[in-house]
Amino acid sequence: MSTHFIILAAGLGSRLGGSVPKPLTELEDGRTILQQQLSNIVSVFGEEALSRTTVVVGHRADELRAVLPGSVSTVTNRHYRTTNTSKSLLLGLASLPSESSALWLNGDVVFDAEILRKALPLIEAESSFVVVNEGRTAEEEIKYRLDELGLISEISKTVRGGIGEAVGINHVSTDSMLRFCLALESVELSDYFEAAMERTIQEGMGWIPLSAGSSYAVEVDFPEDLERANSARSSL
């Protein structure tokens, strides 16, 4: 069994309003969001992890491919204009060899590599999990609630009484991979992958909330998010 890494980078990213694909947005340290993500993977899992990394591309795909290390694979979502992250993730997972688990990242999340270090025990234990920030949430964020066992019971933008946000870093175990892929296939084209998570929860699958704690994780949707991401990094 081996863990593979998927970065979802197919979307338009129009809300940020930049002149480049959103994953190629430059941070204050001179790296792009995508470069920071790949650097974090390497710092925790080693250089060879790049050969187990797949970037799902769509919008301005050639620009993304041009800057990727040669060992990183790509999968193209040719229907990126009419589909959402559920179908991009399905394409990425379908490209993996059998007997794999997968850790996937939204292509716009700027985060502390320490989060991946915190995740190692759960990955090694073959657990499925969602990295979360606990506390108050905004309307556009993916919110979550927990059941009596401390597992995620609801996860979507429309959750009422959410106790925090999902930050866009997640892992699905090897033994849950097929069930999750079937759920991704069954949800609507316009659905986020969280809709498939909720479907598996209804079927009895457990998703563990992994708190980011004091480590930063910011999804960059709007210019103010980019400011927060840069501020979080510079405060370390």
Cβ atoms of 126 and 101 closer than 8 Å: yes
The burial of 236, by beta-carbon neighbours within 10 Å (0-12 exposed, 13-18 middle, 19 or more buried), is given as exposed
Q: Which tens digits make up the pLDDT trace of 73-131?
A: 999 999 999 999 999 999 999 999 999 999 999 999 999 999 999 999 999 999 999 99
φ/ψ (deg, to 5) at 105: -125, 140
* Alpha-carbon span 202 to 190, nearest angstrom: 20
Q: pLDDT band at residue 138, thresholds of 50, 70 and 90?
A: confident
Strand blocks (E) in 135-222: 143-146, 152-156, 164-172, 208-211, 217-219
Q: pLDDT band at residue 1, thresholds of 50, 70 and 90?
A: low
> Which domains are assigned to the chain?
2-234 (3.90.550.10)
Q: Which tens digits make up the pLDDT trace of 164-220?
A: 999 999 999 999 999 999 999 999 999 999 999 999 999 999 999 999 999 999 999
Q: What is the enclosing helix (H) or strand (E) of 186? A: helix 177-186
Cβ atoms of 144 and 164 closer than 8 Å: yes
Residue 18: per-residue pLDDT: 72
Cβ atoms of 75 and 57 closer than 8 Å: yes
Secondary structure class of 142 (helix, strand, coil): coil
What's the whole-number average pLDDT of the chain? 94
* Alpha-carbon span 75 to 69, nearest angstrom: 15
Query: Taking the CB of residue 109, how many other CB atoms lie within 10 A of it?
Result: 22
Cβ atoms of 123 and 45 closer than 8 Å: no
